Structure 1
Amino acid sequence: MTSAVPAATAHLAELNVAKLLYPLDDPRVAPFVEMLDPVNASADSAPGFVWRLVGDGADDATELRPAGENVIVNLSVWESPEALWDFTYRSGHLEVMRGRRDWFARHVEAHLVLWWVPAGHVPSVEEALERLGELRANGPSPRAFTFASTYSAAEAAEHLEGTRG
């Protein structure tokens, strides 16, 4: 049995990966690239937003390729699943979702993973890719889940990074 963890002591981390169909400087990807700054600015000011990964001296993480040469990553932290859901599906980010098939390969395995972290913890890319690997290998669990198979912070309490004994 896990102990209850108040939501204020935990935040939701999120990683999604997408394999580009074309290089970022290809004109066919230009609509996506043009949306990056406004969507990232919207995320930064969204209710419940905590942190997002950016490259050194960059405004986004598109130059980072920790998951493969043609794979871009988005790693962020949110106060709650509801805050992330609202940003993802009820903001300008939805336009990116609608156009994703024009810019990214169709997913054949899990491309999004969610997990709880202690408030104030900034997840590393390695940690995020490990969680995605767990989801792909084992399916949803309190350590690695999706919007469709959510776990609460209390259910995931024993799996919070930095809280294991």
Structure 2
Amino acid sequence: MAAFELAQVNIGRLKAPIDDPAIKDFVDNLDRINQLAEGSPGFVWRLKGDGNNATDLSVGGDPLVIPNLSTWTDIPSLGAYVYRSAHVEIMRRRREWFEPAEGPHLVLWWVPAGHRPSVEEALEKLALLSAHGPTPAAFTFRHPFPAPAGDEVEPVLDECA
């Protein structure tokens, strides 16, 4: 068993409340995409609220800001799910449902195996990435870092692909 798992968060602010018809297509695809993640090689855990997703877990008291927080065994597994599965169809449509981000909206970092990061921890990692750019403590797919005492890693893809 590996000593570390890859944590990831992406946070977005919806253009309308979750029950608004403008967001319906996003909501209608949540279960399918979450099931795809859970069945993907390398998936470990994802943050869930009351509805089997995280849409009811607002960030900073803003009900329109929702987190997607999960852990994976490694960068290639997460990259395959994000960029080479049906998830990419939904990701390409994010501008329909989410406001443009004012800073980094995605960050990756290594956690001890079995650790389940909190939204607060994830926000700290986003702030770290924003303040210092990619470092071993907070990085991106484009500028990855290996797990502590791990092997070199290659970039997966551009986050904006």
TM-score normalised over the length of structure 2: 0.88
Q: Which secondary structure state, in structure 2, belongs to the residue aligned with residue 147 of structure 1?
A: coil
Q: Percentage identity across aligned positions?
A: 50
The residue aligned with 1:94 is 88
Q: State the alpha-carbon separation in 2 of the partners of residues 84 and 138 from structure 1.
A: 23
Larger Rg over CA atoms: 1
1:77-114 Cα shifts (integer Å, max 9, x gaps): 00000010011111121111111111011123100010
The residue aligned with 2:65 is 71
The residue aligned with 1:62 is 55
Do the aligned partners of 1:67 and 1:73 also contact (CA within 8 Å) in 2?
Answer: no
Q: State the alpha-carbon separation in 2 of the partners of residues 154 and 133 from structure 1.
A: 21
Structure whose residues are more often helix by fraction = 1
Q: Which secondary structure state, in structure 1, belongs to the residue aligned with residue 142 of structure 2?
A: helix
Of 9, 18, 33, the match for 1:15: 9
The residue aligned with 2:124 is 130
Q: Which amino acid aligns with 1:105?
A: E
Change (3 A) 1:67 1:155: farther
Q: Which amino acid aligns with 2:59?
A: P
Q: State the alpha-carbon separation in 1 of the partners of residues 149 and 89 from structure 2.
A: 33
Give structure 2 stretches of 5+ with no counterpart: 151-161
Change (3 A) 1:109 1:155: farther
Change (3 A) 1:91 1:68: farther
Q: State the alpha-carbon separation in 1 of the partners of residues 60 and 138 from structure 2.
A: 17
Do the aligned partners of 1:142 and 1:155 also contact (CA within 8 Å) in 2?
Answer: no
Q: Which amino acid aligns with 1:38?
A: R
Q: Which portions of structure 1, spanning 4 or more consecutive aligned residues, are displaced by more than 6 angstroms? A: none
The residue aligned with 1:26 is 20
The residue aligned with 1:3 is none
Of 105, 109, 117, the match for 1:115: 109
The residue aligned with 1:160 is none
Q: State the alpha-carbon separation in 1 of the partners of residues 146 and 77 from structure 2.
A: 14
